[in-house]
Structures are given as structure tokens and as C-alpha cells.
């Protein structure tokens, strides 16, 4: 596991110090955790944000970052989550970005993740001035250089000049252009403008909440862009329209393990929220003209569900160049060759040997070899290795 967790642990005292200074002009208090009174105060803001951004969605697109209490709650609770998510996804990219632009940056978790992932020039852009000011204070606290710009695609404040190796949209696309279907085309148009600002080999990375609706909307934006000739670097191995959209009840999201910082854990507990694993939906897109990578040889699939246990068998949903399929292996058919199947995690890319078509996909047999070719969160090896 790369050092994301250690990097995040270094950020926590900076987040707390900057928050304390902004709140009461002094940095006094334990450096890496909140006092009980601070916890209660911030947890109230976390609850408001959680309800407004995930359950009721009343705050999506509203100016919550301009409210100091909610901005503080975002900084201490959601910032570490977005940072960890971004580090995971950036770790999958085939090359290290140098120039990066983070749009809808808020107080900058994704921008700082890009810096920590090796970017040397990062611009954070948002319409919220207080959020960008906080990002600037964090940069000073960390001794990092971060440029900030005002940006609002709804009021035509244009995309900052230049071309980039990486353009990120962290949990912002779902807040743009309203909530109806017409918003999807506008979101795709915006992403297309951003793709035109990439240097060759660059990537647009979009992170969204792992909710059913926001994930499905992201998949529909993906399909619009695929129709316009763009290709997906990650996570999709399937080149056509996303098969998870075929059934209303399906969606696709990622889940990663992480070490939740203690202050975040205490806030989750005080706000009575459950946040153990890191869940998100994401998409990494390549600029126009870049072809899909040739599929690796053999039957290669990404695991896209949690383990689905059935009577005497293990099941997963998986998605690969042939589409979305069910995979099942009966306990009684477990052998040394296929034992890895019982330990798979959402996001792993596997190669499987001999299978039989069964139900919605394939049944594995005692002689079906199962090999993890890229564990969740790791990009596929370059070039894809042969079987």
C-alpha cells in the first residue's frame, strides 16, 4: 500500500490548526484531535452537510462553502475523505501529472492530493472565495505552492488558461446545471471542454459520491462522452455503453480500504455517521484521439460488486471487455488454482481461465485459474501482461 495514509496523517494537524485559527484566531489545543466541545460543534455541521449533500441533496449546488460552520465541517471531515479518494485514483494513472487544475476545488483536498502525487504546478478553482482562501492558508501551513482562481461554469467565469496533464472535478459535477436530465448533456459539454485542455497523455479525473443517483448520472455522462469518441482510462474495461445502466437498480462504484484519521473517526461517531471504507464513483478520461487500450488477452474482468455469498458458493458481479457478468464458484470446487476467487475485492482486475456459461455469466470450475492482475486501486500493468 502506498504512503497515502501517512501523507494524510501529516495533513490532519494542518487542517485542525488552520480551522482553529480561522475560528478563534488561535491555534491552541491538541494538534491532531479535536476537544470534546470542538467535536460537538463540528459534528453538527457534518450532520447538516451529510443530510444536505447525500440524503436530501438540498445543499447540492447551494453556497454551503460560504458558511464558516459548514466550511469548517467540510475541512475537518470531508477534506480527508476526498484527499484519500483522490490519492487512490491518481495512483491508478499511467503517469505522474506535472501541471494540474482542480475545478470545484473547495478548500483543496484534490489539489493537494495532486501535489502530493507529484504535480509541480497546481491551480485550485472554485466559485467560493472563503473555500479558496482556506486552501491558500493550508498551502502556507504546509509550505506548498498553490495557485487559486475564481471559476463558475454557470456564470461563464471561464476555465483558467493553459493546458494540463491533469484536470480534476472532485464531487462537483453532480452539483452543476440542476438535477434533471438536461443537466447531463451540459455536464458532458463541460467535460469535453476540459478534455480539450489536456496535454497529450493527460487525464480528466472525475470523482463523485457513491450514491445510486450521482453514480448513475456519472455513468450517463460517460456514455455521452464515449459516443463523442472519448476513451476511458479507468475504471472501465468495457468500451460500449455502460452495462450497469441497463437495470434501474444497478450502479457502479469503487470501494477502497483506508486508515481513517482519528479526528475523522471521532467526528463520524459524534455525528452518528458510518464511514468505514472509502466509497466513491470515479472516471478517468483520455483526450480526443487517444484509442482504447487493447484488451489484455484471456478473459479479463474487473470485480464490480462486494462478495455476494450464496448457498455453498461465492459470487461477484464483474465487468470486462464482454460486458457485465456474474461469476460464481462453488465452495466444493475450491482448489489451489482458483482459491484467490474467495478473497477478491471490489475493484480487483482478474484473469480467469476455463469457465462454463451459466445464468447471468460464468461458473468457475476446479481447473479455472484465477489470477489478480491488478489489485483494486492499482493501474493495470503497462503494457498489459500476456497470460
Residues in 300-339 that interact with ligand SAM by CB under 6 A = none
> How far apart are the C-alpha atoms of 101 and 169, rounded to whole Å?
9
Residue among 15, 84, 90, 105 that touches ligand SAM (CB under 6 A): 105
Residue among 18, 34, 46, 65 that touches ligand SAM (CB under 6 A): 65
The answer for residues whose C-beta is within 8 angstroms of residue 237's C-beta and 6 or more apart is 295, 300, 301, 302, 319, 320, 321, 349
Residue among 77, 78, 230, 362 that touches ligand SAM (CB under 6 A): 78
Rounded to a whole number, what is the distance in angstroms from the first to the last CA of the chain? 25
Q: In angstroms, give the least distance from the CB of 35 to ligand SAM.
A: 25
173 touches 183 (CB < 8 A): no
Query: Of 131 and 254, which has the nearer Cβ to ligand SAM?
Result: 131
Query: Of 5 and 223, which has the nearer Cβ to ligand SAM?
Result: 5
Kindly state whether residue 171 participates in binding ligand SAM, applying the rule CB under 6 A.
Answer: yes
Instruction: Give whole-number Cα distances, 343 to 107, 314, 315, 347, in Å.
Output: 37, 10, 11, 12
- The cell numbers describing 23, all together, are 475560528
Kindly state whether residue 112 participates in binding ligand SAM, applying the rule CB under 6 A.
Answer: no
Residue 347, phi-psi category: left (phi > 0), alpha (psi -120 to 50), beta (remainder) = left
Kindly state whether residue 172 participates in binding ligand SAM, applying the rule CB under 6 A.
Answer: yes
| DSSP codes joined into one string, 283-323 | EEEPPTTPPPPPPPSSEEEEE-S--EEETTEEEEEEEETTE
Binding mask 227-256 for ligand SAM (x = CB under 6 A): ------------------------------
Of 148-156, 198-206, 305-313, 323-331, the window that binds ligand SAM (rule: CB under 6 A) is: 148-156
The answer for residues whose C-beta is within 8 angstroms of residue 308's C-beta and 6 or more apart is 314, 315, 316, 317
Kindly state whether residue 148 participates in binding ligand SAM, applying the rule CB under 6 A.
Answer: no
82 touches 170 (CB < 8 A): yes
Residue the block writes with cell 480500504: 257
Binding mask 174-193 for ligand SAM (x = CB under 6 A): -xx-----------------
Query: Of 98 and 186, which has the nearer Cβ to ligand SAM?
Result: 186
| Footprint on this chain of ligand SAM (rule: CB under 6 A) | 61, 65, 78, 82, 104-106, 109-110, 126-128, 131, 151-154, 170-172, 175-176, 207
Amino acid at each position: 500500500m502506498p504512503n497515502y495514509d501517512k501523507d494524510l496523517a501529516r495533513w490532519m494537524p494542518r487542517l485542525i490548526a488552520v480551522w482553529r485559527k480561522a475560528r478563534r484566531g488561535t491555534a491552541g489545543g491538541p494538534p491532531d484531535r479535536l476537544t470534546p466541545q470542538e467535536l460537538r460543534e463540528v459534528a453538527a455541521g457534518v450532520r447538516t452537510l451529510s443530510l444536505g449533500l447525500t440524503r436530501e441533496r438540498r445543499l447540492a449546488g447551494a453556497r454551503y462553502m460560504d458558511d464558516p460552520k459548514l466550511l469548517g465541517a467540510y475541512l475537518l471531515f470531508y477534506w480527508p475523505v476526498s484527499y484519500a479518494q483522490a490519492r487512490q485514483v491518481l495512483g491508478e494513472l499511467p503517469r505522474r501529472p506535472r501541471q494540474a487544475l482542480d475545478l470545484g476545488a473547495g478548500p483543496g483536498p484534490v489539489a493537494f492530493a495532486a501535489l502530493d502525487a507529484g504535480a509541480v504546478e497546481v491551480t485550485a478553482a472554485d466559485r467560493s472565495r472563503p473555500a479558496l482562501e482556506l486552501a491558500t492558508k493550508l498551502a502556507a501551513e504546509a509550505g506548498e505552492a498553490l495557485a487559486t482562481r475564481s471559476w463558475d461554469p454557470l456564470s461563464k467565469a471561464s476555465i483558467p488558461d493553459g493546458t494540463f496533464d491533469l484536470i480534476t472535478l472532485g464531487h462537483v459535477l453532480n452539483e452543476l446545471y440542476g438535477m434533471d436530465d438536461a443537466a447531463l448533456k451540459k455536464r458532458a459539454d463541460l467535460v469535453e471542454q476540459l478534455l480539450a485542455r489536456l496535454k497529450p497523455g493527460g487525464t480528466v479525473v472525475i470523482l463523485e459520491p457513491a450514491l445510486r443517483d450521482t453514480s448513475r448520472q456519472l455513468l450517463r455522462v460517460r456514455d455521452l462522452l464515449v459516443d463523442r469518441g472519448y476513451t476511458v482510462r479507468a475504471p472501465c474495461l468495457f468500451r460500449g455503453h455502460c452495462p450497469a445502466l441497463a437495470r434501474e437498480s444497478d450502479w457502479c462504484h469503487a470501494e477502497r480500504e483506508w486508515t481513517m484519521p482519528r479526528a475523522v473517526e471521532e467526528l463520524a461517531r459524534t455525528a452518528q455517521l458510518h464511514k468505514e471504507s472509502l466509497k466513491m464513483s470515479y472516471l478517468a478520461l483520455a483526450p480526443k484521439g487517444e484509442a482504447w487500450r487493447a484488451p489484455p488477452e484471456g478473459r479479463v474482468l474487473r470485480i464490480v460488486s462486494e462478495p455476494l455469498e450464496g448457498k455453498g458458493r461465492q459470487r461477484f458481479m464483474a465487468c470486462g471487455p464482454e460486458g457485465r457478468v456474474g461469476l460464481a464458484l462453488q465452495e466444493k470446487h475450491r482448489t489451489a488454482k482458483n482459491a484467490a476467487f474467495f478473497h477478491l475485492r471490489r475493484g480487483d482486475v482478474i484473469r480467469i481461465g476455463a469457465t462454463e456459461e451459466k445464468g447471468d455469466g460464468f461458473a468457475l470450475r476446479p481447473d479455472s485459474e484465477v489470477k489478480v492482475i491488478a489489485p483494486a486501486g492499482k493501474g493495470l500493468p503497462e503494457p498489459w501482461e500476456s497470460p
